[in-house]
Amino acid sequence: MSSAPSRAPRCDQTVAWQALMGHAQAHGRSMDLRALFADDPQRVQRLGLAAPEVFADLSRAHWDMATHKHLLDLARECRLEAQRDDMLRGACINGTEGRQVLHTALRAPQGQGPHSQAVHEVLEAMLAYVEGVRARAGGTQPGDIRDVVNIGIGGSDLGPQMVVPALEAFVHPGLNFHFVSNVDGQDLASVLRKLRPEHTLFIIASKTFTTQETMANAHAARQWFVEHGGHDVAHHFVATTTNVEGARAFGISTTFGFWDWVGGRFSMWSSIGLPIALALGAEQFRAMLAGAHAMDQHFAQAPLESNLPMWLGLLDVWYRNGLGYSSRCVSPYHHGLRRLPAYLQQLVMESNGKSVDMAGQSLPYATCGVWWGEPGTNGQHAFFQMLHQGTDVIPVEFLLVRRPSHRDAAHLSPALKALLDEQHDKLLANGLAQAQALMWGKSTEQARTELAPTAGADVPPEVIARHRTFPGNRPSTTLLLDEVTPHALGALVALYEHRTFVAGALWGINSFDQWGVELGKAMCKELLPRMADGDVRDLDPATAAMICRLRTPGGA
């Protein structure tokens, strides 16, 4: 058993917290970004931080150098660096489940980090299997794989589903990837109609091989496979699970395991990453692990003052508790990263959506806010109206990528690449303009002078000017990648993992359990037979009435 974690005070039990909250009351809510830039010509330089593959511009965040000092004091008084070291060395920081938290060990080079031998045995076996499948991928002979269907949910789905399209430029051209997670049969049915059983590989991703949604879809997929003339389930189905006996009973002989110290939302680096490895190949999958490890090293070794995951986590706490911001918009200006907001929803909100501390005491302050978003420029034509002129202040995190992913696409002509390069410039300009507009806004006087003489003839010009006024002083941060490669994406995801840990450590919560997921699942198991037999005894009136209505034709 690993050693116990160090003792650290909860954030509100420190002198630094009281000073920070006092600073928020006196200055935080009256900060104006435009004044902060005017008062400090070096603000951009002071608040730019570099980490492996990622540069962060934090100058448009709602904080000043006094805020920085208070946050550094808080980090030190909460022994944040010691808490980080506890996680990395394998202390049992997931106290409610009695587990280590060692997703970082999954990307450590061989011979480094805890459990290295076991990790690399599974990794080598998985990558050998991957190269065997890829060697015949796209072929026409029975058993040659063209389509890969990953069946999982939560952490067994969101990571691979985010990474594969993000790295489309590196994906094997003979393989198509599909992700099925919803227990709604339409999800699986819409995928199956595109497939031929003799050229399809199904990955059943479930640690216990008992996850209700995953196993329902797995059994339905096997039924389709057999009905459509499929032969050799053992060749066309593979499992990422620790329940080898359960997989064997299903008909699966090829399994790749992982460990209880790997949380689902931190598991894309493990065998849960099998679809990523099949898409990228062994070399590029290792590059993704190496990028994450580079960020791990930065997190472990960089001083607090220049440690990017530390500062992003501190900013999250400042926004939530100092300024009361309850939401965060993530806007990646890169089409490949379109599933990143959904991935972060689980990573951040499942980790830090807690209301009691490690000792089970109710917290007197807010923890995780709502994370959401869509890729730019789509979001600009949807919800950016609220970001600019709504009544709530919602910090925005922009992700920009210098080099477009289509640059090396072999199927594009030079002329078409030139046109798409121009579009990439437009994409980046849009991202820069949105951050600029959020900060600077537009005064009523500016709006008034821009009105055309005939504009809004039936409405007074002053009214129109008010509608075209932007308050500005809306905060944002910008993360910049040079390009989206396996190495860079690995570093970016690890950055978000560590940032989530930092906020949770300061709040004094366990970021690595998820009991809130369990209650609804347990109730579902109880309700499922009642849906079939109509027994509504002892149910609450609303649930009983809805079951009766659902069982009645035309009951809607």
Q: What are phi and psi of 209, to 5 degrees?
A: 60, 30
pLDDT of residue 29: 87
- Collapse the DSSP code of 412 into the 3-class scheme (helix H, G, I; strand E, B; otherwise coil) and give the result: coil
Beta strands in 126-277 (DSSP E): 147-151, 176-180, 200-205, 237-240, 255-256
Helix (H) or strand (E) holding 448: helix 444-450
* Chain center to CA of 41: 34
Q: In whole angstroms, give the CA distance from residue 489 to residue 284.
A: 11
Catalytic hit among 381, 422, 426, 467:
381
CB within 8 A of 427, min separation 6: which ones?
333, 334, 376, 377
The three-class DSSP label of residue 478 is: strand
The Cα 42–Cα 39 span in angstroms is 9
Asked about 350 being catalytic, the answer comes back as yes
pTM (2 decimals)?
0.96
Determine the Cα–Cα distance for residues 421 and 424; give it in Å rounded to an integer: 5
Q: Which two three-digit tokens encode residue 21?
A: 């909250």
The maximal CA–CA distance of the chain, rounded, in angstroms, is 78
Alpha-carbon span 202 to 507, nearest angstrom: 41
The per-residue pLDDT for 189 is 98
Walk along the chain (556 residues) and give the pLDDT tens digit of each residue: 467 787 899 999 999 999 999 999 999 989 999 999 999 999 999 999 999 999 999 999 999 999 999 999 999 999 999 999 999 999 999 999 999 999 999 999 999 989 999 999 999 999 999 999 999 999 999 889 999 999 999 999 999 999 999 999 999 999 999 999 999 999 999 999 999 999 999 999 999 999 999 999 999 999 999 999 998 999 999 999 989 999 999 999 999 999 999 999 999 999 999 999 999 999 999 999 999 999 999 999 999 999 999 999 999 999 999 999 999 999 999 999 999 999 999 999 999 999 999 999 999 999 999 999 999 999 999 999 999 999 999 999 999 999 998 888 888 999 999 999 999 999 999 999 999 999 999 999 999 998 876 555 688 888 999 999 999 999 999 999 999 999 999 999 999 999 999 999 999 999 999 999 889 989 999 999 999 999 999 999 999 999 999 999 876 6
How far is the C-alpha of 407 from the C-alpha of 294, rounded, in Å? Answer: 26
Q: What is the pLDDT of residue 456?
A: 53
pLDDT the model gives residue 454: 57
CA–CA dist 324, 352 (Å, integer): 16
**Which pair of tokens denotes residue 227?**
């009905």
* Cα–Cα–Cα angle for 403, 407, 408, rounded to 5 degrees: 130
Give the span between the Cα atoms of 517 and 533, in whole angstroms: 26
Out of 350, 374, 397, 497, the active site residue is 350
Environment class of residue 26 by beta-carbon count within 10 Å: exposed (0-12), middle (13-18) or buried (19+)? exposed
Measured between alpha carbons, how far is 550 from 553 in angstroms, rounded to an integer?
Answer: 8
- Strand, helix or coil at 498? helix
Q: How high is the pLDDT of residue 2?
A: 61
Question: Which 3 state secondary structure label does DSSP give 5?
Answer: coil
- CA angle at 56 for the pair 310 and 170, rounded to the nearest 5°: 105
* DSSP letter, residue 330: E
Distance CA 335, CA 160 (A): 16
- All structural domains of the chain, each given as residue ranges with its CATH number in brackets, are 11-98+302-440+474-513 (3.40.50.10490), 115-286 (3.40.50.10490), 441-473 (no CATH), 523-556 (no CATH)
The predicted structure's pLDDT at residue 411: 87
200-205 vs 147-151, strand pairing mode: parallel
**Is 497 a residue of the active site?**
no
Q: Residue 455 has what pLDDT? A: 54
* Contact status, residue 269 vs residue 107, Cβ threshold 8 Å: yes
The answer for residues whose C-beta is within 8 angstroms of residue 181's C-beta and 6 or more apart is: 151, 152, 153, 154, 157, 161, 187, 213, 214, 217
> Is 335 considered catalytic here?
no
Token pair 């280590």: residue: 100
What is the rounded CA–CA span in Å between residue 256 and residue 270? 9
Instruction: Please report the DSSP string for 27-69 in residue order.
Output: TGGG--HHHHHHH-TTHHHHTEEEETTEEEE-TTSS--HHHHH
The helix/strand/coil state of 401 is strand
pLDDT at 3 (0 to 100): 74
DSSP 442: B
Q: How many CB atoms lie within 10 A of CB 439?
A: 19
Q: Which residues of 209-235 are buried (b: 16+ CB within 10 A; e: fewer)?
A: bebebbbebbebbbebbeeeebeeeeb
- The tokens describing 309, both together, are 């995951």
pLDDT attached to residue 1: 46
